[in-house]
Each structure stands twice: as structure tokens, then as C-alpha cells.
Amino acid sequence: MSAMLQVHQLVKRFGGLVATDHFDLSLERGEVHALIGPNGAGKTTVMGQLTGELMPDEGSITFDGRDITRWSTPERALNGMARSYQITQLLEGFTVLENVMLMVQAHLGHSFHAWKPARQQDVLVKPALEALQQVGLQARADEDVMALAHGEHRQLELAMALAMKPRLLLLDEPLAGMSHAESMQMVTLLQSLKGQYTMLLVEHDMQAVFSLADRVSVLVYGHAIACGTPAEIQADDRVRDAYLGDH
Amino acid sequence: MFPESISWRSPRPWLASAIVLLLLLVPLLSQWAGSSFYLTFATRIVVFAIAVSGLNLVLGYGGLISMGHALFVGLGAYVVGIGATHGLVNGWAQLVIALALSAVVALVTGLVSLRTRGIGFIMITLAFNQMFYFLAVSLKQYGGDDGLPLEQRSSFAPLPSLDGKVALYYLCLAVLFAVMLLIWRLVHSRFGYVLRGFQANERRMLAAGFPRVRYQLSAYVLSALICTVAGVLQANLTTFSSPSYLSWQASGEQILIVVLGGMGTVMGPVVGALVLLILEELLSGITQHWMAILGPAILLVALVSQRGIWGALRHREGRP
Amino acid sequence: MAWSLLFSQVLNGVQLGMLLFLLSAGLTLVFGIMNFINLSHGSFYMLGAYFAAATLAHSGSFLLAGLVGVGGVMLLAFVLERLALRRLYPKGHLNQVLATLGLLMFFNEAVRMVWGAQPVFTSQPAWLNGSVPLFGMAYPSYRLMIIAAGILLAAGIYLLIHKTRVGMLVRASSTHPDTVAALGVNARLLNTLLFSVGAGLAALAGWLVGPIVSVQSGMGDDVLILALVVIVIGGIGSIRGAFYAALLVGLVDTMGRAYMPQITRQFFERSVADAAGPALASMLIYLFMAAILAVRPGGLFPTKR
């Protein structure tokens, strides 16, 4: 198996604070890798550096053999990386379908087409509907995106990431704020995607992590203190110490 | 021809049609009223609506607060004025020169401005506006502070002479309708989606894979060109090119019209221009200190609304 | 080169800088802390000049004129902020631009209604007439007083911001407004006071500048633009930035206007130079700002939020 994503000794400082402290990560093709850690451990900062929204101070990120450390966010998106956000980042003022259509559109060359209505273009609509179908939202396609419930927003986040036909899915707390029933639905959905996509999953919900992940990395104060299968991690004393009372 | 389905059960298409019809009939109505004042006044409104439609593209649909679009109106007006002074009265030639010049200025100022965000963008567009304002004032041989009278109106042969008030009006109206249709189709196209997407959530758009600057810059240049066309028509209407067309107060007035009428709607600029100019006319008939009334009225509008008149109408129907 | 002329231009530049600082200090804090862009700030400057001029005409006391000018404007600003402007803080820059443009329009017309459209004449106090011998020339005492006043006020503001509890709250509010509010500090009162003090400083500038400029409707409009340029160059929210930027802008603008015609004559033929010189001088400040923003989009002293 070849490593799809290789993160090597990543360091990020904010003034005097070291948010990412020589972080290493290796993601194999097709695996679901979970990143867990106590609050404030720096998971979002790591995510930001992986997607290009933050630039690391030291270290490197290699994706499919290419050094993408300094690549911009759009460049990474166009080369197979898709992210879903912890706090939903939706396009207000558009419908559910249009939100997904824009993700499809980004990967269809340039958008300097100013005359034909986008809504009537099958090449945009069909893949968008398919992505919505995958997450079970196709019935809500023509509704204003703000009319959806929170759980449906999270589903839409996933649909938008999937519509980009990525090779790597970066999922930032996809279950955040969901009810138990909604979480179960989402976990089932993610399980159905296993094998088709390589996934890096940042999550607090331990049940979900242990049922989905092939391997787990534990992040404490910006550093990976352990990496292994869910069973190995559960048995690890260092992890227990770090998580005292956390779950 | 229309990029979206029109529901005739809602009041908006009826209202819009009524406004279009009214605008088409103005010369007739003006004749009935016995004075050409109404025709000239309506032409002013139409020209404003064109300029503001241009601004609406970057402000209403793109979310970029530009205090510098009066610059492009002034540019169009001065090309006509200076051209006529040197014997160039072919409107088509003036138009081409004005558009080419505007495109270059918009490209350069846009590239610099788009490096900044928020207040920085407002300030830098304002700065560029001021620069060209002072440039216009310094052109002593072209009137300087006093402005430049137009020697002769532009000739857009084979179209009838613009010395005829009716001909000028219908030319302006045709341009307005063309611009409105262009913008209507544009905002529903792929390009429009990208532009509006960046206004809605820039972070998401970047994460999708869209580079930002090229799309916002294109919209900026296009909006500048529309304002330039308005400037060309403005000079022909007033037979005058004045630095006041480039003042920052003029830019502010454009912003007011867009917000009042309804940002991000095609009818907004027309409605805004109609309401503001008619209001100004009515108020100035009551008192010479009408600005003391209009000022607080604007304050009130800003305190109360964000959507503007047409935007509020849309909102009532549940359209985003 | 005429050295005494150069020195007097430098002093003029510093004097303009001090006035710009008085105007920008309030503007930058209000922007940095309440995220509120106030295009009617120049109106406070104008009203300060008018109130002071009217008081001087009636009482003959320059200092009383200052008191009324500054106090009157501060009261006005206090009421305005409480009644209307604070509602605009969450509404975004566009609404703020519009609202304050409306206010600007109102104030310009209001002073015309009360005092007429002709410029109002007001005079310097007798004890500041005359000049001080400096660098081989006689520099007007009044202008020197403005420079001294500006430096004193800048020092005072610095002490207030960095050495008092109120100042600490102001500094904390500029980077962490929610935290300060959570600490139980009456953030709204702090904001209102801040706004009033900013307006008061602008009015002070108006009072001081009355005798040497034309006091008329709209006098604050172009000065406002300069103040906006200053705060953008200095870094929004930074008093220190406003001080240095104000000095820079004052110097660049004054020296530019004084020497640009000569400079352009070196490069262009006379008729072009005579037209281009003043135009370039006016544009200089904006070119300067664009250059700074190109390199440092956050200004000289960017405040991190």
C-alpha cells in the first residue's frame, strides 16, 4: 500500500503558542483514519494546514508523492482534496441543489460562461442530484439552504464534499451537534463510503470513531502521542491519561 | 430570453412590467403634460439606473463595497467632452475609446484593490476615485473645476441625432434594457453563480476550487464598462462634463440608490433611481434645505433595512 | 535651496499632521473597537469650528469658545450614538457608510440653515498673534501652538490608553470585545464614551483650525478623506499608527504641494508641468496609501483581531 498523504514534522506557531508541535501523520490509500484528542489539542489547526487555509511554519505535507505544503486551497481542491467543515460553510441565498452544483462546477474547467442559465445545465445538475441522493437529501433539492435543519446541513456538507469527486475526504467533526438518531444515520452513510474514498476523520464521538476507523491518531498539545488500530488506542495508557474524564 | 421562470401569480412581474411600460410611454406623457422637463428628468433617471446597474453587479451581487465607481462615469463623460472639443463627435468612436480606457483603468485599479478586504477595499477604491477627481480638476484646458461644456453632441449615425430629446431618451432606455437583460442572464449563468458564491461564503468557494481574483476582477471591469456607457450618455444629456461626476459624494449617491432600490436584484437600480430622484425633486420643491430632510431619511433607511424596496418585495415571497 | 522655507514647510507639515491626528484618533478607535465606519466624523470637526466661532463672537474668549466647541460636540455625539448610531454596529459597513453619509448631508445643510452659506470669519486670540523666530525665519505663534497642543494631547492620550484602567479596557476591547463585555464591564457605556471623546477630539481640531481656514459648510468632507487615509496607513485601531501616519501624511501632503511643481518642471516642459504639478500633489497622498497597502495590507501597525 502506498501512503496517499504524508505529513512530516508539521509545526505551527501563533505568537508564543505552539499549536502544532512536530506533528506526523501517514494516511494509506483507502483507509479511514481518525484524528482524536482533547479540546484545544489543535485538531482544527492541523485541518487548516492540510487544506491550505493556514501555512505551516515548519514541516511538509505530501499528497500522492507531490509536496503540497505551500499550495493554495483552490489548488488542493482541484487536485483531489475535499473538506467538510465543523461549522457548516454553506452558500446562503442559494438552494440545496445549487450549493452542490457549484462544487461540481468548480471541477468543470473555467466558469467564464455568462449567458446560459446554470440551473438548466444537465452536466451540473445530474452529478449534484447524485451527490444529494448519496446522502439522502434529494427531496430537499429545490429548497432554500437555510430552510434545512442542522442535521441536514451536516448531510449537505458531506454531499458537497462528495460532489467534488475527491480522492481524499477531510471530515471535520461531521457529527457535531447531531442528535443520536442523526449521528447513527451519518455513521451508516460514512460506512457505506468506506473503501471508495480515503478519509481523515476528526471526531469527538468515540462510538463513531471506533466503528469507522481503520487507524486512529491521538493529538495532544499539537503532537501525535499515539497511532494505531482502535483496539490498540483504547488499551494505550498514555491515551487514557490524556483523556482523563473526557468520555 | 428570460433566464428564470416567471410566476405571474406574484406581484413583482406585474410591477416590473408596469414600470417598463411607464418608461416606454414617458415621451408621450411628457407631451401631454406640455413640458419637456419630464422627459429630461426621466432621461436623468434612466442614465442613473444604468450607472447604478453597473455598481450593483459588484456591490449587490459580488459583495464588494466600491466607493469608486463614479470614476468610470466621469471617464465616459470626459472622453465625450474632450473628444468633442477636438472635433471628434462620432459617438461610436468616442464609445470605443472610452470603453478601452475604462477597461485599462479598471484592470489596474481592480487588481490593486482586490488585494485588500473590507475597509481596505472601500478606502482604496475611494482613493482611486479621488485621484481621478483631482486629475479632472487639474485639466485646466478642459475647464478644470468649472467643468467642460460639450461643443456638440455625439453622433451615433445611423441612429437619429441626439439633439432630439426623444431620440436621446429612447437610446438611453434601450441601453438600460440591454444592460438589465445582460445582468439578468449573467447572474443566473455559471459566472454569476461564482460571483454570488463568493459573496455568500468565500471560504467555501475557495475550498471548492474556485480562484477568487479572476472572477471578481472580471465583474469589476464589466461594471466599470457599464458605468462608462452611462457617463457617455450623461455628457450628452447635460452637454457638460464636470469633475463633480467623479466626486466621492457621487459614488456615495450611487451606493444609496443601489441599497434603496434593492441590492442584488435586477429591478433594484431602476426602482432606486426612480424613488430617490423623484423624492429629491419633490423635496426641493418644498424647501431649499431639502438635504436636511433627505439626510435623516437616508439615516432611517440605513437603520431599518438592508434589502431595499425590491429586495423587500422578493423577501416577502420567500425568495432568497 | 531656501533652508528657512524648507523648515517652515516642514513645520506646516507637522502642524497639519497634528490636526490630522486629532481627527484620526477618534476615527481609528471607533473603527477598531466597534467596527464602525463613520463618514460623518468630519462633521464633528466642522461643528466644533462653528460652535467655537459663534462662542468667540459672543464672548470674546478663545478658551471659552474651545470649551463650548468641544463640549457641545461631545454632547451631540453622546446623544447621537445612544439614540441611533449604536444600532448600526452589527449591521455591517454598507449600512454604516449610508447612514453616516446621510448624517453628513444633514449637518452640512444644517449649518447652512443656521449660519448661512458664506464662510464664517473667526480670529486668533491676541496673545497668540505674532511670530517666533526659528531657523532664521519668523514662524507664526498660532501654528506653533497647534503643534504643541497636538503633541501634548498625543502624550495625554498615550498615558490614558497605556497607564489607566479605562485605557486598559479600551485596549482590551479592540482585540477581545466579547471578553471585556463578559467581565461585567459596561461595554455599551464604554463605546458611547469612546465615540464622544473621538468626536470631541475632532471638534478640538475644528476649534484650533478655525482662525486659519475657511469655516464653511462641507469643510469636514475633504479633511475626512485625509483622516481615512491616515487611519488606513496607520493601521485601523492603532492610536500609535494614527500618530505616525498623521505626521507622514501631513508632511507628504504639505511638502508635495510645496515642491511638486518644481519637481515636475525638471522632467516636463513648463505648460505640462504647471498642470501636472498640482494634480500630482493632490494625488500623492493616495498613491502613497496605495503603495503602503500593496506591501502591508493591514497598515503600518496592524492590530490583530
Residue C26 · residue C198 · CB < 8 Å: yes
For residue B126 the three cell numbers come to 475611494
Euclidean distance between CA atoms C8 and C17, whole angstroms: 14
Cβ of B320 within 8 Å of Cβ of A94? The answer is yes
Predicted local distance difference test score (pLDDT) of residue C205: 94
For residue A157, what are the CA distances in angstroms to B184, B285, C120? 29, 56, 63
Cβ of A112 within 8 Å of Cβ of B191? The answer is yes
Cα of first residue to Cα of last residue in chain A, in angstroms, is: 33
Three-state DSSP at A36 gives strand
For residue C153, what are the CA distances in angstroms to C159, C168, C205? 10, 18, 11
Provide CB contacts within 8 A for B81, sequence distance 6+: B142, B143, B148, B149, B150, B235, B240, B241
Cβ of B298 within 8 Å of Cβ of C87? The answer is no
- Residue type (1 letter), A80: G
Report chain B residues whose CB lies below 8 A from the CB of C96.
302
C290 vs B: CB within 8 A: yes
Residue of B nearest to C103 (CA): B295
Which of B52, B65, B117, B134 to probe the C interface (max C CBs under 10 A)?
A: B134
Cα of first residue to Cα of last residue in chain B, in angstroms, is: 22
Report chain B residues whose CB lies below 8 A from the CB of C245.
none
Euclidean distance between CA atoms A84 and A99, whole angstroms: 13
Helices C219-234 and C41-59 sit at what angle, rounded to 10 degrees? 130
Minimal Cβ distance to B295: which of C96, C109, C286: C109
Q: Which fold has domain B35-316?
A: ABC transporter involved in vitamin B12 uptake, BtuC (1.10.3470)
Confidence of residue C80 (pLDDT cuts 50, 70, 90): very high
C95 vs B: CB within 8 A: yes
Report chain C residues whose CB lies below 8 A from the CB of B59.
94
| pLDDT of C282 over the 90 cut | no
Block residue for cell numbers 488542493: A76
Euclidean distance between CA atoms B198 and B190, whole angstroms: 13
Which of B286, B303, B305 to probe the C interface (max C CBs under 10 A)?
A: B303
Predicted local distance difference test score (pLDDT) of residue A245: 46
Sheet holding A215-220, edge to edge: A81-84, A168-172, A198-202, A32-36, A215-220, A223-228
B106 vs C: CB within 8 A: no
Q: Determine how β-strand A223-228 pairs with β-strand A215-220.
A: antiparallel
Cβ of B190 within 8 Å of Cβ of A89? The answer is no
Cβ of B210 within 8 Å of Cβ of A111? The answer is yes
Which of A101, A102, A125, A172 to probe the B interface (max B CBs under 10 A)?
A: A102
Phi, psi of C213 (to 5 degrees): -130, -175
Predicted local distance difference test score (pLDDT) of residue C165: 82
Residue of A nearest to B212 (CA): A74
Cβ of C294 within 8 Å of Cβ of B301? The answer is no
Three-state DSSP at B310 gives helix
Nearest by Cα to B203 from A56, A110, A77: A77
A177-216 tens-digit pLDDT: 888 888 888 899 999 998 889 999 998 888 888 889 999 9
Task: Give B296: exposed, middle or buried? Use CB within 10 Å, 0-12, 13-18, 19+.
Answer: middle
The structural domains of chain B, with segments of one domain joined by +, span 35-316
Report chain C residues whose CB lies below 8 A from the CB of B128.
286, 290
Three-state DSSP at A138 gives helix
Predicted local distance difference test score (pLDDT) of residue C68: 93
Residue of C nearest to B134 (CA): C279
Burial A158-194 (b: 16+ CB within 10 A, else e): bbbbbbbebbbbbbbbbbbebeeebbebbbeebeebe
Euclidean distance between CA atoms B48 and B237, whole angstroms: 11
Domain C11-117+135-295 architecture: Orthogonal Bundle (1.10)
pTM: 0.89
Residue of A nearest to B189 (CA): A117
Looking at CA atoms only, how far is residue A91 from chain B in angstroms?
Answer: 5
Burial C38-74 (b: 16+ CB within 10 A, else e): bbbbbbbbbbbbbbbbbbbeeeeebeebbebbbebbb
A18-27 tens-digit pLDDT: 999 999 999 9
Residue B148 · residue B244 · CB < 8 Å: no
Looking at CA atoms only, how far is residue A233 from chain B in angstroms?
Answer: 32
Confidence of residue A2 (pLDDT cuts 50, 70, 90): low
C31 vs B: CB within 8 A: yes
Q: Determine how β-strand A66-67 pairs with β-strand A81-84.
A: unpaired
Print pLDDT tens along chain B (320 aa): 777 878 888 888 999 999 999 999 999 988 888 888 999 999 999 999 999 999 999 999 999 999 999 999 999 999 999 999 998 999 999 999 999 999 999 999 999 889 888 888 888 898 899 889 988 988 888 888 889 999 889 888 888 888 889 999 999 999 999 999 999 999 999 999 999 999 999 999 999 999 999 999 999 999 999 999 999 999 999 999 999 999 988 998 999 999 999 999 999 999 999 999 999 999 888 888 888 988 998 898 888 877 888 988 888 876 65
Tally of CA atoms within 13 A in the half-sphere of A33 that contains its CB: 23
Three-state DSSP at A226 gives strand
Chains that touch A (3 or more CB pairs under 8 A): B
Cβ of C232 within 8 Å of Cβ of B115? The answer is no
Block residue for cell numbers 494546514: A49
For residue A149, what are the CA distances in angstroms to A137, A155, A156, B4, C32? 12, 10, 10, 27, 35
Confidence of residue A244 (pLDDT cuts 50, 70, 90): low
Report CA B277 to chain centroid distance, whole Å.
Answer: 14
| Helix (H), strand (E), coil (C) string for B146-165 | HCEECCCCCECCCCCCCCCH
Task: Give C114: exposed, middle or buried? Use CB within 10 Å, 0-12, 13-18, 19+.
Answer: exposed
Minimal Cβ distance to B197: which of A82, A102, A144: A102
Q: CA dihedral in degrees (B55, B59, B62, B63; nearest 10)?
A: 170
A107 vs B: CB within 8 A: yes
Residue A217 · residue A35 · CB < 8 Å: yes
Nearest by Cα to C109 from B128, A193, B182, B297: B297
Size of interface A-B (CB pairs under 8 A): 103
Looking at CA atoms only, how far is residue B61 from chain C in angstroms?
Answer: 14
| pLDDT of C12 over the 50 cut | yes
Name all domains of chain A by residue range, CATH numbers in brackets: 1-80+169-247 (3.40.50.300), 89-165 (no CATH)
B202 vs A: CB within 8 A: no
C residues 267-286 lying closer than 8 A (beta carbon) to B: 275-276, 278-279, 282-283, 286
Cβ of C102 within 8 Å of Cβ of B120? The answer is no
Residue of B nearest to A48 (CA): B207
Predicted local distance difference test score (pLDDT) of residue C166: 80
Euclidean distance between CA atoms B243 and B135, whole angstroms: 9
For residue C88, what are the CA distances in angstroms to B22, C43, C95, C100, C196? 37, 18, 7, 10, 16
Report chain C residues whose CB lies below 8 A from the CB of B120.
232, 293, 297
| pLDDT of C183 over the 80 cut | no
Report chain A residues whose CB lies below 8 A from the CB of B201.
89-92
Active site residues of A: 173
Cβ of A92 within 8 Å of Cβ of B3? The answer is no
Provide CB contacts within 8 A for C185, sequence distance 6+: C169
Q: Determine how β-strand A17-28 pairs with β-strand A3-14.
A: antiparallel
For residue C77, what are the CA distances in angstroms to B106, B298, C192? 38, 18, 8
- Does residue A83 come out as left (phi exceeding 0), alpha (psi in the -120 to 50 range) or beta? beta
Cβ of C221 within 8 Å of Cβ of B140? The answer is no
B residues 12-51 lying closer than 8 A (beta carbon) to C: none
The greatest distance separating any two alpha carbons of chain A, rounded to the nearest whole angstrom, comes to 62
